[in-house]
Structure 1
Amino acid sequence: MDGTEQSTTRQAPGTSSGPSAAWDPVRYLRFAGERARPFAELVTRIAAEAPATVVDLGCGEGALTASLAQRWPGARVIGVDSSAAMLAAAAAHAVPGRIEFVAGDVRDWQPPGPVDVLVSNAVLHWVPGHEELMARWAGRLAPGGELAVQVPDNFRSPTHTLLADLCRSPRWSPQLAGVAPAADAVLEPAGYYDVLTAAGLAADVWETTYVHVLTGPDPVLAWVRSTTFRPVLAQLRADDGAEFTAAYAAALREAYPQRPDGTTLLPFRRIFAVGSRPS
């Protein structure tokens, strides 16, 4: 799922938080196809042929987690998330004895035993110091096990810098300075390589920039409403939220102008890292 910072309303997928920033599965799934592409690219690079246990940390509404059971028909697949709304949606994908979804915070969840494949897709950018968390996860891998993570790396893109500038502006700083997106929420690719190799894993790290073709009114705003913009709005009363949204939408329209054919292009950079423990 597409930073948990210190505020209790900045909820990561799979991390605990207050109800004001609750995840909305319907809104999140508006761009389900675009959000699924990085997951598919990540899983393609996992070499495991017949893992017994596969865990998806920050599983969200479960559709992508269920696809792991299709990739590995003999595996027991476990999805972990802290959002009650997301887990309720994920229940539709559960298969007794094959696919299960459990409540848990990715920051402290512990598997009952060694894991053959551990996946975390678009979650770790919400967790400060997540390199330490990755090292702990690496320690839970079985011999020959693999850890696969994907994080968005668009924190210096207009979607985030414009939002951060507004949050820190004189008008909004007293309410929102603490929830402004951080520019250093993720490491550079070499940083993830170092994390994995320091944990004793063979590392495969790469990056991809997707160019998403969006349509409709204010489509970039619609994209960020279910992710980056969500914890900001959670801090505002309805009237302030409308004022802030109008200013942010105007800035996004200038940064991501609509094209003559009615489409809007959203470049989106993502970082992938797969670490393999020796057999």
Structure 2
Amino acid sequence: MPATTPTWDPAQYLRHAGPRARPFADLLARVPDLPGDRPRIADLGCGPGHVTTLLADRWPTARVTGYDNSAEMLERARQQAGDTPDGGHLDFAPADARTWTPAEPHDLVISNATLQWVPGHTERFPDWIAGLAPGGVLAFQVPGNFAAPSHRLMRELAHSPRWRHRLAGTLRHDDAVLTPEAYLAHLTAAGCTADVWETTYVHLLPGEDAVLDWVKGTGLRPVLTALDDDPEARDAFVEEYRTVLRAAYPPGPHGTAFPFRRIFAVARKPADR
């Protein structure tokens, strides 16, 4: 059974909008100046658009398009579309990162916590880099926490005797993301200068069953989608998963500590000589 294409819930995703936005802000801080006076920017996997607006803040004259293959996410994102005060424009459009290619030269192609959903995403790098203007930038951030209890326990439960006939193959792991060294090798082989690094955030999440609440907006979506036609089974899986998460992430007096490793890359295409 292939990995399930998840359906998305923008409201659930945005329940942790602050900590989800921080890696994008850290990625954006390492993106250098762009070559165009009115940069053309694509945000692949823009989700509800809450971080896409940061691109318009950084480059006020830019033409920014956020792309996503979720109609639910795009409906939410389009609430933020329109002209910007300094002559730029922000819009959103449907597209799939597995097939999207720039239709015109771009100054920046950026992706935040999306490429882990795209099998073989490094094979897309040459097309995206070819679509950059000279001196343009490809930048992305992906989660690197697939070995963490939040994901490991989810996979173990999905492959347990009770659930494997329904969920085997629903969740990906080993091929979801590469090591930082592998990303560096791919980007430099494509002719770019590249900066690749990793960071582990320790989010302090409020509320009861905080880690479960977090993954309901992201990593658990394929399971919720696969069981959507059987609410009783879906609720039973969530309850089993809730129990093991409580043991793995016990709450403290000020919230639940949730370590989250992420991998970052910023690659610049050579400028014309």
Fold shared by both chains (TM-score > 0.5): yes
Deviations 1:47-89 (A, max 9, x none): 0246320110111111211110110112111111111111111
Partner deviation per Cα, 1:74-114 (whole Å, 9 max, x = no partner): 21111111111111111111114611111111111222211
Matched, 1:69 2:56: yes
For structure 1, the residue ranges without an aligned partner over 5 or more in a row are 11-20
Alignment match, 2:115: 124
Amino acid at match of 1:252: L
Secondary structure of 2:60's match? coil
Give the length in aligned residue pairs: 263
Question: Does residue 1:266 correspond to 2:255, yes or no?
Answer: no
Q: Normalization by structure 2: what TM-score? A: 0.93
Select the residue among 191, 208, 219 that pairs with 1:228: 219
**Equivalent position of 2:232 in the other structure:** 239
Report the counterpart of residue 153 of structure 1 in structure 2: 144
Report the 3-state secondary structure (helix = DSSP H, G, I; strand = E; otherwise coil) of the residue aligned with 2:207: coil
The match for 1:55 is 42
Q: 1:181 to 1:108 in 2, by over 3 A?
A: closer
Deviation (angstroms), 1:23: 1.0
Match of 2:79 in 1: 92
Say whether 1:78 aligns with 2:51.
Answer: no
1:34 equivalent among 1, 8, 19? 19
**Are residue 249 (structure 1) and residue 242 (structure 2) matched?**
yes
The 2-side partners of 1:140 and 1:87 are apart by 24
Note if contact 2:102-2:128 (Cα within 8 Å) is conserved in structure 1.
no
Task: Tell me the secondary structure at the aligned position of residue 48 of structure 2.
Answer: coil
Aligned-pair CA distance for 1:262: 4.5
The DSSP-based 3-state class of the residue aligned with 1:234 is helix
Contact map agreement 2:119 2:175 (CA 8 A) in 1:
no
Which deviations, in whole Å up to 9, do the C-alpha atoms of 1:102-130 show, x marking residues without a partner? Answer: 11111112222111011011001111111
Q: Is the 8 A contact 1:48 1:117 kept in 2?
A: no
- For 1:172 and 1:6, the matched residues in 2 are separated by 15
CA contact 2:35–2:135 (8 Å) conserved in 1 = no
Gaps of 5+ in 2: none
Percent identity, aligned pairs only, is 51
1:186 maps to 177
Aligned to 1:17: none
Instruction: Say which is worse superposed, 234-243 or 142-151, in terms of deviation.
Output: 234-243
What does the per-residue CA deviation read over 1:12-36, in whole Å, with 9 as the maximum and x for residues that have no partner?
A: xxxxxxxxx3211111000000000
CA change 1:90–1:239 in 2 (3 A) is same
